Structure 1
């Protein structure tokens, strides 16, 4: 979190150190758990309510996530003003801590997402009903954050482009959601999906969320970042080259291999990437190894299918 002075100071130490040692850019993602608050750690039971030590939770409507989850209190206008103020305060702390980019989390059934989806928003006031009304509060939060964030620094919004459930958000809805945030000053739409309701039926598979990024980018003409089951550098480059996204987010690949990006750069021979001096020996080693591996792969493919690969390798060499 970044909601008190201790958090701000700790993050500033981290951001300052990394900026001093590399060209890395830091993005701060801010969100409110909403009806998913008071839950266990992910590895202890994702979205499962705490057995003890929970706290009162709020949401767009009084609908629990699981049937046995605590029932959230429907937000009042006073609650909304308080949440907006908290988001602005966290935004200001992020700026003082030195973050380079800011993202508002409005996906996965958390507080702001609970307003956007018709499955979690059954309000009968100006914040419920039509998509325009359901976007009203998330847009109020975003505009307040944008006003508190420097104009020269980018802001993004993470959305769930589909709820994977009957009666929920669809890709066509997501195009309109993206347009609304872009008109409010959003620079990039971070396109995820689902996790809105417990009985969703996502269709998992390789790069399974990328089509939604593709749709928003090419129908709305917006910059997007795709995420989800993207595990190789070839997949990343194919997505970018095909115009399906402007950026690609990789979380799990880096959790299991912090040097994923360095290894990918070595495989493609991208010599110009920055490397802290204390890691240069390792960089040189992996670049040498990757060059040999590319040669071995080329020879193997030529032997296996000479007619198929000979012209391809010749063109690449030229």
Structure 2
């Protein structure tokens, strides 16, 4: 047999050899007499197109070394990138050393932390995939132990913790196992806003595609907006407008230093889950609706809707899609307002493709985030596609073992051209 001159083309703009993935993993293959469900249609946000709407949220790994990502993160995220979610987030990443949840959290408070992130992003981009990063400050829930070691507990100095350097809007403790916080001064608040902007600059330098701020689960920004954790009497406490002041300052600071065409997300807790305690002032869904409209005015593109985290007394629903009612309520409330352009993401045990598609069809959300299911099954995009009878492309090194060798025309198979501009 004569040798063939068929090149295994390299991925472009990559500092090492890896085969090109075009079409990229996660793209739906056009099928005759078949309309691709919206979960597998592309969506464009600002200057960025995502090949589908099944995305991976941040999943804390507690495996960083002084805030620097390690080989664990490369392995964990790389297995997901190659299977083709529309967007994959690097985990919750601290903007200061003392804002980590655990001593092993990811960070972007110094320049040396850029390179490990850049390497992961370079690999994702070589696969044609998009990467986001969630920037965070744990506030009064900082300096804790990795969750697989204890359910909740303070990390002391002997294990790299900083229990005497934990800060929140007030000196109100979350719960007995966690540290006793101190109330931030106005000067410290200004420093934290700058730290968030500086971390965003480092993320841009690393090549990130999307930035999200963590405004949920009782961490710093959520603790400022919630009366459960904020009893300040200055301009950062009291009224709704005062309690959201820090949030808007952080949003404005980040929007000012990232490219105009970069999508910007905020993850919120839609409710504290304390409606069963009417005597306890708390953050409720109606507050989230008001905040969502403000965030859109300030340049936020996607609202990532979770819930809870402010109090151990919370009561939240459970089961498949248990948090979708929150995203649905926000999307519905904004639909006839100037903030109707804000995209809303649903989360919460969305465990199959039919369920995910129904959420989109019923206009309860625009995007689907799935976390723990991806940790269990990195090829979840493929599984959800099978649920909906959608054919997708997968990284060639994986795909060929499930199809055949050298299928004529496979490498240039036409893909869906449907786009939704947002």
2:375 maps to 1:255: yes
RMSD in angstroms over aligned alpha carbons? 1.5
* Partner residue, 2:91: none
Q: Distance between the aligned counterparts of 1:241 and 1:279, measured in 2?
A: 31
Q: What is the total number of aligned residue pairs between the two structures? A: 283
* Partner residue, 2:330: 216
Gap change, CA 1:36 and 1:282, over 3 Å in 2: farther
Are the counterparts in 1 of residues 143 and 156 from structure 2 also a CA contact under 8 Å?
no
Q: Give structure 2 stretches of 5+ with no counterpart.
A: 1-106, 335-339, 405-422
* Partner residue, 1:111: 220
Matches within 5 A, 1:10-25: 10-20=116-126, 22-25=127-130
Helix, strand or coil at the partner of 2:256 = helix
Matches within 5 A, 1:270-281: 270-271=390-391, 273-281=392-400
Give CA-to-partner distance per residue, 1:205-239, whole Å, 9 cap, x none: 22111011011111123310011121111111110
- Pick 1 or 2: higher relative contact order, CA cutoff 8 A, min separation 6: 2
* Partner residue, 1:2: 108
TM-score after normalising by structure 2: 0.65
Are the counterparts in 2 of residues 192 and 209 from structure 1 also a CA contact under 8 Å?
yes
Give CA-to-partner distance per residue, 1:129-176, whole Å, 9 cap, x none: 111110001110111011111110100101000001132111111101
* Partner residue, 2:135: 30
* Partner residue, 1:171: 285
2:321 maps to 1:207: yes
Gap change, CA 1:89 and 1:46, over 3 Å in 2: farther
Q: Give structure 1 stretches of 5+ with no counterpart.
A: 286-318
Gap change, CA 1:81 and 1:216, over 3 Å in 2: same
Helix, strand or coil at the partner of 1:148 = coil
Give CA-to-partner distance per residue, 1:268-290, whole Å, 9 cap, x none: 3323x3322211224438xxxxx
TM-score after normalising by structure 1: 0.85
Are the counterparts in 2 of residues 275 and 283 from structure 1 also a CA contact under 8 Å?
no
2:302 maps to 1:188: yes
Greater helix fraction, Structure 1 or Structure 2:
1
Are the counterparts in 2 of residues 262 and 283 from structure 1 also a CA contact under 8 Å?
no
Q: Of 337, 348, 358, which aligns to 1:228?
A: 348
Give CA-to-partner distance per residue, 1:29-60, whole Å, 9 cap, x none: 00001111110002122442125443110101
2:254 maps to 1:145: yes
Matches within 5 A, 1:114-125: 114-125=223-234
Are the counterparts in 2 of residues 157 and 189 from structure 1 also a CA contact under 8 Å?
yes
Q: Distance between the aligned counterparts of 1:264 and 1:282, measured in 2?
A: 19
Q: Which runs of 4+ in 1 moved over 6 A?
A: none
* Partner residue, 2:202: 93
